[in-house]
Structure 1
Amino acid sequence: TAPPLTPDSRRLVTRSDGQELEIVSVGPESQGVYRCEAVNGAGRDSAEVRLTVVEAPSIDEANLVYDMRGRVDKPAVVECPVRGTPPIAITWKRNRMPLNESARIRIENNGQRVTILRSEVSDTAEYSCTAENRFGRISRSFNLMIMVPPTFVDASIGPYVLHRVVENSSLVLDCTATGIPAPNYLWTRNSGGIISSTLAAGAPAANPALIGSGHADNYTCAAHNAAARVSRYFKLVVITPPALVEGSGLVRVTVREHEFTRLRCTPDGSSRANVIWFKDDQPIPSTSEIYRLTDSDETLMIISPTRDESGAFQCQLINEAGSVSKTYQVIVQVAPRFPRDFIAGPETKSHRLNDAAELDCPAQGNPEPRITWIKNGIRLSVDDPRYQFLENGRRLRIRQVSLDDASTFSCEASNMAGEVTKTYDLQVVMRPSIRRGLELVRIVEGEDIRLRCDFKASPTPITVWKKDGRQVASDGRVQVRPETLIISRANDSDAGVYTCEVRNNIGSDMIRIEVVVQIKPRINARPYQIVQAKLNYQIELDCSVTGDPRPTIVWKKGTMPIEESANYRFNLERQRLLITNLEASHAGLYTCEATNPAGVAFAQFQLKIMVEPKIREVPSVVKQAFANQDVTLECQATGDPVPLITWQKNAPAEIPRNDPYYRTLDSGNLHIPYVR
């Protein structure tokens, strides 16, 4: 049930005691079904009225744009937001002529929007929309302008323009452009901000009267309208008389012989200029093998100066505005060097131990070089009594050559022009001498053999290892090194006499080392076995063993050592144990233990004493029984191992143990059921 209406509402007013309902300012929200009810003490009645609200076309003025702008080649939209009671018919006109859809023009959103997909200048016009239904009609007009971005009239110039102008001349910078609407212009320069802001009717050019060095700058002209902004950039280079960063005048330059040298002639950057170089007033050709010009001829490189390159070098800068020059007076110094008949490269010299030796360093140069002697990278001191420095260091005398002098000696001759080095590899000649060590080496099989042959000799000798007169070579187990022979996992074949011979061109030396490989004991028997022998007989336990040195054998019964006695005798150097007159007490665990310095081996024998079977006598060997009566015949025997008992009847043939009538019991007795 709908809620009751409030009579005092601002939009709802009841009249004639509620018999009439007035709706003030009817709108679409007033539509609906209205019901009135009449009630008294006798009852109730009601009636319904359906109210339909109709609306003439209207346009949403709040969101309406009457003057619109679009850009050429871009989409443009004209909106006519209509509302009202449908159906509503919307028609469009352009410049008062009907507007129809085409490939570029779309009428969308039930006619409320015109979309121009790609705008043209011809689309600039007055657009009008008319909305009509059966309750009314309304029209609106809109102005659309299609704008064209500015473009420069002289497109051949391009966006970046370079002008080179001599100082005190004049120049016009052209920035004329077209566009819709007509563009405005803005001139700026990097160093000075805005020059001028002109309207479309203003002059589109910058025109300095007389150009000075202060006009050199980057200028920007911006032509702009509501559609876009385009710019043209001008770089103005003002050519002024050249000047040198290094300044003009005369400069003295001292260089080393063969030292790469550069002479600079750098413009100060205020203007460009051509650079020309002279030596002793003669132009330097660009194809010279001695000189090389780089950096736009601003740098003259003297590749390898000699005394001939000493002289006056002049550079001259020339451009349209004038010239400037600079002179370098070059003096070439001579680095230290050796005479041509002297061996300048590395040299090897040999001297006998304890003799004197002399090393030469005849370096010459200008100024006089300073000579330093170095041994293995360490400078020699003039106070060292082992050395003499003769002829201002040009000769080094070693008073008495020692093994420590087998080194690299260098002399360094240097002055401000450079340095030169002479290197000597001094070899101290010495007959090989081997340090004596072990002459007998004992090793256990499986271990590694390491034999040392420490020696002193010069020059470096050749080392030869031999075994029993035959040379030893490296293989899988053997590593032959000058001072060490290593044999991995030694075995009995590695035993023998080894020699190490060290020899060089002065002499030789040799040592002899005997290697004994100790072999662990090995018993030629199973580690554990069970043996049997009869009571009162004898037995021999075999513990044949090999090993080097020969193993010592100890026999034990249980944990107690066995000594020779009436019942125990040892044979073959205790490798066999003979036990005689066997008794039951001789049974047990016997251990053979073989030991030498290389290791120990064991073998065990479990001796069991066998006792012959013996049948216990019974009181009577005659047995009587009644027919069909069970009878058991006794036969109990002793022995070790337990004897097997068999029965015979009236003949040598044995009674089978599985005989169905005669049953041999586990005790050895014979059971006969139902005697017949």
Structure 2
Amino acid sequence: MVSHLHTSAQMICPVWLLLFSYSISITPSQSELVFSIQPKDGIGILNRPLMLHCAVYDTSPQTALPVKWEKENGRLATGVHQMANGSLFFSSLKGEDLGGYICSARNGSKQIKSVVTVNKAYLENVFFSPQSQSVIKGQDLFFQCVSGDSSPTAHISWLKNSRAFTRGTQIQGQYGGGSQRKTSGTLHLTNVTKADQGRYVCVTHNRLLNISKESDTATLIVGGLSMSLEIMQGPENITVAVETETALHCVVHGSPTPKIQWFKDNQMLPNTSRWDLHDDGQLLVFERVLPEDEGFYYCEADNDNERLRSQPAYLLPAVMDWTFVLQPVNKTVRKGDSVTLYCRPPHSRPPAQVSWFRNNRLLRSRSHISTQPTGDLLFHSVQETDRGFYFCRASNSFLQRAITSRKIFLEVLAPPSVTIWPLAVISTVGAEVVIQCQVSGHPVPSIEWSKHGQSVRTGGKITKGVRNATLYISSLRNYDEGFYTCAASNPVGQDEKTISLRIAAKPIIVLFAGSVNVSKGATIILPCRAVGNLPLKYSWRRSALQTPLSLSPRIRVDGKRF
């Protein structure tokens, strides 16, 4: 019997082992690529280092794979390096480094990747400050505060009378949800006493930048069972870009606690999802301002005993069209004329600011140029230096954007102006004379030379320089003497200047006493006369020594002593 059982076992085991090995062979293990270090969004400080980490391994076999970093819509900039361990290192974060980055790995047909974003750290001013309040002793109190946008998320703390305040319950969390980068903070005080009176400030802190922003001061007054109604602060005029968030404030004190209602253009605001009321109605928040929200707003407080109304405040949604009403066009004007380059900016609330640019540089204020209230550019007296390319730019500071007009060319025509040098020339026969004629004007003037009304022809000993601006006369002869005129002309006008050229003749002595006999002690006159171009200069020398006569009271020349 035992033998039989043993035999049966021997028959069953091989079958089971066969089935087990078969199941293993037909069910191979499945491998996949996974992140051992999941890349995360990076927040850095400009001009400081930043590191993004990323690591990938294959689960079968468990082998680390090399990763590759890429920048969305571009290449990795200079100063951005991938390390041997797969991390991406920014040696000095720049503005152009901000944006999306992809960390990926591949093994055969398998691939894995993750997209992260690099943002710069910043902290904006407090969005909503705590409001001053008057409460009755023993009541509960809530101070609310909302930070400005912050990256990374701001931390909120509280000050009382300029000192850190830790009493009560402090709650904070994300404000608004979604992509909001604001932090909401609430300070809750129970069983308020006179000791809680004081000045409270909300402090928002960015741990990465190690900077803080303080809210406006809120004053807490703790009183008795009844307090008169008072509007401590009403809404203020505000201009804000459309499609953005804003708020109107109405700070009310009084007991019993008043009910607060808001009005627009003397009509009570209806309930709608486009705005919310916070802090018992003291804060009217527009989640997304639209053009139809423009108007006068005021708050009204009522506690059955009294009713008060704040001063109205104007909400102006900032908008600007994308098309110019009138754009500049090419202009051609004469020097000295007045001309206007037209630029009527797009319709804008508030009105757009217009700036003018010349040759891609902001046009600075000049005495002969002024920008008109309409946006036009007026040249009172155009100068040649005003020639160039112009365009105007319209901007609305509340929208943080600008629109540029077409680029046009201002052509300035100027009549010729001629300057000749030298004004007069006296030269000798055989010499060379160079006469310069400097000409300005636009278009470039043509230059012609004439002598006594007849055109000067080149060739031989007369040549002209570039653009005929220089006249060369070599090997002067007596017939070259005369008046030479440089005349310049262009379609706008003409100008000319004249120079005189004189040929000096070599002096000839026509009277001189060759030898004279005279007694010792007698007076003698030695005549000397010459002809030639005036003025003539005479000089005397002793013929034997060929030296000038020395100064002596006994010797005179034309009545002058030597």
TM-score class, shorter-chain normalisation, is 0.3 to 0.5
Q: Which structure: larger Rg? A: 1
* TM-score normalised by length of structure 2: 0.35
- Of structures 1 and 2, the one scoring higher in RCO (CA 8 A, sep 6+) is 2
Q: TM-score, normalised by structure 1?
A: 0.30
